[in-house]
A and B are shown apart, each in its own frame.
Chain A
Amino acid sequence: MQMYIILPLLLIFGPLLFGVLVMLAPGWRFKTPLIVLSALVMIAGAVLLALQGSFALSIDARIMKALPLIELLIIAAIIYIGFRIKKWLVIGLGALQLAIGLASEMLPHAAHEHVSALNVDLLSMIMVLIISVIGSLITVYAIGYMKKHEAHGPEQMRSTGLFFLFLIGFLGMMNGLVLSNDLKLLAIFWEATTLCSFMLIGHDRTTAAGESAYRALWINTLGGAALMLASLLGAAGGGPESLDGLVAGGALLPLALICLAAFTKSAQLPFQSWLLGAMVAPTPVSALLHSSTMVKAGVYLIIRLAPGLGDTRLGQVVAITGAFTFALASAMAVSQSNGKKVLAYSTIANLGLIITCAAIHTPLAYAAAILLTCFHAISKALLFLCMGTIEQSIGSRDIEAMEGLMRKMPVTTVIAIIGMVSMMLPPFGMLIGKWMALEAVIMSPLVLFLLIMGSALTVVFWSKWIGRIQTVAYHPSYKVEDVPFSMFAAKGILLSGVVVATVTVVPFFKRIIGPMAVAAFSGVEVAPRSWDLMKSVDSFIEWPLFAMLGFVVLVLLLTIKGINKSHVREPFLCGENLEGARTTFEFRSLMDKGESARIRSYYLNPLFGEAHLTAWANPVAMALIFVMFGVIGK
């Protein structure tokens, strides 16, 4: 067999195999090397696949015939889980999937043999790289994390072996999802990721974990049903049952159904609750769900279908829905003091932004969508890994409790600050992506307005958080915190990833993403203005930004050593500072009494409180989804 056939199979089934091995391996002595080995194999496989170049792969017809059987098995698993957790909603949705699956078996499959089952093109290569590299780093991080979690976690939780089976297996299923072109295959991988996330979110088996896992299951099963229905409608219309067939065919109803499925998976309003609930899981799970897998499946699908959405009303409504999620989720993040929730809302918001970019139908926006997907994956994975370390160390997720973190864990804090800065400031990739997005949506006023408001709000919650964790009194030196090597290594590699990606963002755009967008939109009618914008972004000179940053670093390196204890004074407190006070927030007040000043951040709860924003945002988002289906018939 040739190499190019082995690679996709390795990337899809390799993780499953490794997951089983890790599960069976007794003790950490055997588990650790196996996890590291699986990470190395995955990374190597993904890089080799990227070097291989594009190709399509058809699968033997006999294997394709077995697909409905696998699908049936998965649906049976969902229904079984529904019975186990006694939730009629899950059973009902499982039954719905079963009905759709059976109906599609009744139909004759004319076009089935002609489609390639797997498609390896630039977009799926990028996705495979994101999944395999970032996902594998997270599994390595999980070694250190789960050792601690085993010792301190709830008693009734599932075995760590099972955890790694689903964690590593998840990556394989995701790889399958982004590589498959055949809709039936896609639906199988889609459901498999849903099941994996159900198991991972419910890992601790606490009441909260159980509820969150259930919510994740039913929302994503609903999405899965929409996806299967899209495939059924495609087949019933005599069209090909493949993604590129759908793009070329241009039938709108299947596209809208796939968009709905993507909304559920990418936790767009009103489906955001499952991703928010998912934070009860161990942090590696959150990191995986938020950065490289699961939620990225949704946006991947919309990017994939973007040229097919065309300049239709459907595309416009999808763009507005994404922009609405971006603005509202950013606003909700402002009011949160729970760090993991801020990260979750930021993920939801950025996914909305990516969806908007994918649906707006200009080459520049398409390029921005891909850029944002890449950069968001790296930065968000890094931030979650930092968050996990912080949480395990200080025992809290509350941002207000992270005061003085710089003293307790300087390395993690600095990494977290860089991670947060990379989410909002130039010259980091996310900002470059956001800048391109703003320029690309210029002809859609409503979308533009929502994006502008969302961007302004984004800056608020990140800078509040950075301000909280970096606050520090003068210390001549810092003691580096004690973090397990696996956790440290994963963060270190991701951090260098952020830096490298930042420095190479413009060449990356010019060499790879730009041409990809041009290719995807060749032959598609777009406004001439959008090509002009593409050119103007193409001519962007980034070196002054880096030159300035480099200059500052140089100046600081030269001067900062010169500052020593003799230059340090206590801050002004409008009263005498208390000698030897634990914090310099304490000062001598009336009658020599010690007084402590405490400053909380602004959370603007009356304005951006989660409960009352959700109360009207969810119905509006729901309405937008109805509009999405409504405009098809028009």
Chain B
Amino acid sequence: MITVDPVIIALLAIVAVPFVGAIIMGLDRRLTARMQGRVGPPLLQPIYDVLKLLRKEPIVVNRVQVVYACLHLAFMILCVVLLALGQDMLMVLFVLAFSTIALILGGMSVRSPYSRIGSQREIMQMLSYEPILILMMVGIYLINGSFMARDILVSGKPLLLSLPLLFPAFLLVMTIKLQKSPFDFATSHHGHQEIVKGITLEYSGPFLAILEIAHWYETFLLFFIATMFWATSIPVGLLIAAVCFFGVILLDNIVARLTWPWMLRFMWTAGLGLAATNILWLYI
């Protein structure tokens, strides 16, 4: 096997990942448009958007929000780097949590009721999905005997076969993290959110671009984790990611937004129940 310098892998991940993320987002917009009977924007529209945002005048409400925007992006990148280096996956989750909390605090740092409500709801989202993600890593450990991402293939068997109930739970998490209906209450891709743009409302220009780029990384990260469920064969893994992608967008277009108390209840019963059941039989 060819060994590549980890620094090169990391740099490659930092540069290539946002493009993949942007293309996934572009595909999302196309597919959504088709489902709604529209033609939709060009595939690279997310990149065009961000390039335009970056050239705009920096407008802020205060300086604090800039700090958090940068932290959000930096730690999102760090997640991808750690994963690319095959590091401990629990740590990756904690770094991801850091990134999300930076986003939340950025939304709360401004005196805007909409942004604050968005942040509060984002906290509730974290509370709903964080335990499931950690349980997923526990499941992976129980199969592979290691928390390291580089040991993902150790068991030689696709994870999906051992974690069949954790996979739908992860799909729910993915729907929340991608800000899709019925869970898009902190912020939404669509312009019909009752709290306007929620958590990202007070960001504009280059700082909004930073958040968008971070979202590319995050999108990639989520689909990458989806492929890990069948890491033994890359085509099957990609197929699984594609099915997830289609499922999430379909769900986004056919269901209405619900409320966060409903989400918390649902995720702590159905989501956590699925995950815990799956973990339980791995222990026995």
> Which A residues fall within an 8 A CB radius of B?
406, 424-426, 431, 435, 438-439, 442, 445, 448-449, 452-453, 455-457, 459-460, 463-464, 466-468, 470-475, 529, 532, 536-537, 540-541, 544-545, 548-549, 551-552, 555-556, 559-560, 562-563, 567-574, 583-585, 597, 599, 601-602, 607
**Complex A-B: 14 CB contacts under 8 Å:** A425-B97, A438-B90, A448-B138, A459-B126, A463-B101, A467-B109, A471-B108, A536-B88, A537-B88, A545-B78, A569-B59, A569-B61, A570-B61, A572-B114
B283 contacts A445, C-beta separation under 8 Å: yes
A471-B109 in contact given A442-B141, A536-B147, A572-B196 (Cβ < 8 Å): yes
A571 contacts B109, C-beta separation under 8 Å: no
Task: Known A-B contacts: A438-B134, A442-B141. Give 12 more (CB < 8 A).
Answer: A406-B64, A438-B90, A449-B276, A459-B97, A536-B88, A540-B87, A544-B81, A560-B66, A563-B60, A571-B111, A573-B113, A599-B117
Which B residue's beta carbon lies closest to that of A585?
A: B111
Partner of B62, one of A466, A474, A562: A474
The 8 A CB mask of B115-154 against A (1 = contact, 0 = none) is 1110110011011001100110010011001111000000
> A3–B145 Cα gap in the complex (Å)?
50
Partner of B91, one of A532, A540, A572: A540
Among listed B29-37, B69-77, B168-176, interface-contacting one: B69-77
A556 contacts B67, C-beta separation under 8 Å: yes
- Between A457, A475, A597, A599, the greatest number of chain B beta carbons within 10 A of the residue's beta carbon is seen for A599
By Cβ-Cβ distance, the 3 closest A-B pairs, closest first, are A467-B108, A571-B112, A456-B130
Q: How far is the CB of B193 from chain A (nearest CB, A)?
A: 12
Q: How far is the CB of B98 from chain A (nearest CB, A)?
A: 5
> A473–B65 Cα gap in the complex (Å)?
11
B145 contacts A559, C-beta separation under 8 Å: no
Q: Please, which residues of chain B bring their CB within 8 A of the CB of A568? A: 59-62
Determine chain A's interface SS by DSSP, over half rule: helix
A452 contacts B134, C-beta separation under 8 Å: yes
Q: Please, which residues of chain B bring their CB within 8 A of the CB of A445? A: 279-280, 283
The 8 A CB mask of B77-115 against A (1 = contact, 0 = none) is 110011001011011001101100100110111111111
Cβ of B63 under 8 Å from chain A: yes
A425 contacts B98, C-beta separation under 8 Å: yes
A552 contacts B71, C-beta separation under 8 Å: yes
B109 contacts A472, C-beta separation under 8 Å: yes
> A439–B71 Cα gap in the complex (Å)?
26
Which B residue's beta carbon lies closest to that of A559?
A: B66
Q: Please, which residues of chain B bring their CB within 8 A of the CB of A470? A: 64, 105, 108-109
> Which B residues fall within an 8 A CB radius of A?
10, 57-64, 66-67, 70-71, 74-75, 77-78, 81-82, 85, 87-88, 90-91, 94-95, 97-98, 101, 104-105, 107-117, 119-120, 123-124, 126-127, 130-131, 134-135, 138, 141-142, 145-148, 196, 201-202, 264, 276, 279-280, 283
Which B residue's beta carbon lies closest to that of A529?
A: B145
Q: Please, which residues of chain B bring their CB within 8 A of the CB of A456? A: 126-127, 130-131, 134
Which A residue's beta carbon lies closest to that of B91?
A: A435
A552-B70 in contact given A425-B97, A568-B61 (Cβ < 8 Å): yes
Which B residue's beta carbon lies closest to that of A560?
A: B63
Q: Please, which residues of chain B bring their CB within 8 A of the CB of A453? A: 131
> A453–B141 Cα gap in the complex (Å)?
18
Q: Please, which residues of chain B bring their CB within 8 A of the CB of A571? A: 61, 110-112, 115, 201-202
Partner of B77, one of A548, A549, A562: A548
B60 contacts A460, C-beta separation under 8 Å: no
> A455–B113 Cα gap in the complex (Å)?
28
Q: Please, which residues of chain A bring their CB within 8 A of the CB of B115? A: 571
Q: How far is the CB of B67 from chain A (nearest CB, A)?
A: 6
Q: Please, which residues of chain B bring their CB within 8 A of the CB of A439? A: 90, 141, 147
